[in-house]
């Protein structure tokens, strides 16, 4: 007999509380809401909650998955904290070598460690989610946000948000190779969408993709006979990399909503 899927703890907590959510608000679980609002990152929030340092609506709450909404009255260490949260996004210039993961078994480091090392105190309390991934050896534009719905939007196969890459390749691609890239290729996981392709310099190919499969740029260029030596992402949507390697900046609201075509909360 097939095992019944286990109900997530956050959903169990929400059902147990059964509190109505005010119109225009949004149900969430406590630890995640604290991270989204910039009070403290989620792991720190979970520890503070279990230690009894967080009150919700006048009582100590020790369940990190307790249901809350933006209007909940929350205190941390006796100080009132708001759960109101606007969508923030950061543009980070990823260096080579670090991974887009929570930990690095090779000990070189993660993008989250590199990002937090350069953030000012006002931004360190947020839980930052990487918007998609870049390989360890790939450099360039990597976005972070406190809003999971922006992650889902920007990485969804249905969004077709353009991403621009420049690859240094072996050999000098011919016009026939560029034509194949522009028309779309058949890879081992199916046909690709047509890409924009041009040659900005010797042994260099600029590709603009509207999908994001695993190692897609490398696989497409290998398929036309030009393996990638180095890969750099220059733009996502209409947001272009414009900061030095290892540094970041906060995107404007216009860049989030128009540049990334995100229609979610501001």
CATH assignment of the domain containing 192:
3.30.70.1560
Q: Which domain holds residue 52?
A: 9-81
104 is catalytic: no
Note the pLDDT tens digit of each residue in 73-110: 999 999 999 999 999 999 999 999 999 999 999 989 99
**Within a domain: residue 248?**
yes
pTM comes to: 0.89
pLDDT exceeds 80 at position 144: yes
Angle between helix axes 175-183 and 216-223 (nearest 10 degrees) is 130
Output the pLDDT for position 12: 58
- Is there a single domain that holds both residue 141 and residue 253? yes
- Is there a single domain that holds both residue 150 and residue 211? no
Neighbours of 122 (CB within 10 A): 8
Residue with tokens 């929350």: 74
- Is there a single domain that holds both residue 248 and residue 150? yes
Model confidence at 2, pLDDT cuts 50, 70, 90, reads low
Model confidence at 212, pLDDT cuts 50, 70, 90, reads confident
Model confidence at 264, pLDDT cuts 50, 70, 90, reads confident
**Within a domain: residue 264?**
no
Output the pLDDT for position 27: 77
Mean pLDDT (the chain) is: 91
- Is there a single domain that holds both residue 210 and residue 149? no
Count of domains forming the chain: 3
Per annotation, catalytic residue among 135, 137, 188, 253:
135
State the burial class of residue 98 (Cβ atoms within 10 Å of its Cβ: 0-12, 13-18, 19+).
Answer: buried
- Is there a single domain that holds both residue 151 and residue 254? yes
User: Which segments of the chain does DSSP mark as H helices, in order?
Assistant: 9-17, 30-36, 42-50, 111-118, 121-124, 148-155, 175-183, 216-223, 253-254
């Amino acid at each position: 007999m097939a095992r019944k899927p286990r109900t997530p703890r956050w959903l169990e907590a929400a059902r147990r509380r059964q509190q109505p959510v005010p119109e225009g608000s949004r149900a969430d679980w406590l630890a995640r809401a604290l991270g989204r609002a910039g009070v403290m990152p989620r792991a720190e929030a979970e520890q503070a909650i279990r230690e009894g340092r967080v009150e919700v609506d006048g009582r100590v709450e020790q369940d990190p998955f307790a249901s809350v909404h933006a209007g909940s009255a929350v205190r941390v260490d006796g100080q009132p904290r708001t759960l109101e949260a606007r969508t923030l996004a950061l543009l980070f210039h990823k260096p080579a070598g670090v991974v887009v993961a929570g930990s690095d078994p090779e000990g070189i480091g993660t993008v989250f460690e590199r990002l937090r090392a350069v953030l000012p105190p006002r931004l360190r309390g947020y839980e930052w989610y990487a918007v998609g991934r870049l390989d360890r050896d790939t450099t360039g534009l990597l976005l972070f946000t406190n809003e999971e719905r922006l992650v889902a939007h920007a990485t969804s196969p249905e969004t077709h948000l353009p991403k621009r890459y420049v690859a240094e390749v072996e050999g000098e691609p011919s016009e026939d190779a560029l034509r194949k890239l522009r028309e779309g290729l058949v890879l081992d996981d199916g046909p690709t969408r047509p890409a924009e392709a041009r040659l900005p310099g010797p042994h260099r190919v600029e590709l603009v993709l509207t999908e994001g499969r695993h190692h897609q740029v490398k696989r497409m260029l290998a398929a036309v006979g030009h393996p990638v030596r180095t890969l750099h992402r220059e733009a996502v949507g209409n947001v272009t990399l414009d900061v030095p390697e290892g540094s970041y900046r906060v995107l404007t609201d216009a860049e989030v909503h128009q540049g990334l075509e995100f229609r979610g909360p501001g």
